[in-house]
Amino acid sequence: VRMSKSKEFKTALLEGPLAKPTTLAIFITQTIENEAPPEDAGACIRFFKRKTHPETLLSDKIQFAVLGLGDSNLLLDRQHTAAKDCNQVAQMLDVRLEALGGQRFCQRGESDERTGLLEVEPWIDLLVEKIKECL
């Protein structure tokens, strides 16, 4: 197990010894106001959003899982909201990682601060179960 800050991901996952199909990269990201990532995650998200990357950038390099942490309380202009409405960064990242050749390890998780992030624990349970299957 190795934890890396989002600004260190490129070296850790794409260029170093971890760039192999058995590496599981777990991205936990937040969506803040205006569907933006927090400042610390900005470089990582912008890197993956680049349109100049080949579709094979992540092929045979990583498996990935994405958990979104959102807060529908920030969506004051809507009457009815759910976790899917406040996790745009996680949604975009999940789709983009797959488009770049990454292999999805488990389904994307989306949580909402308004509901006390109740969706996080079941997603972690799913992730742990899938990891156990690989052992």
**Winning range, highest mean pLDDT, from 1-10, 25-34, 98-107:** 98-107
91-127: string of b/e by CB count within 10 Å (b at 16+)? bbbbebbeebbbeebbebbbbbebeeeebbeebeeeb
Task: Quick: pLDDT tens for 52-111.
Answer: 999 999 998 889 999 999 888 776 655 555 556 789 999 999 999 999 999 999 999 999
pTM as predicted: 0.86
Residue 10, pLDDT > 60, answer yes
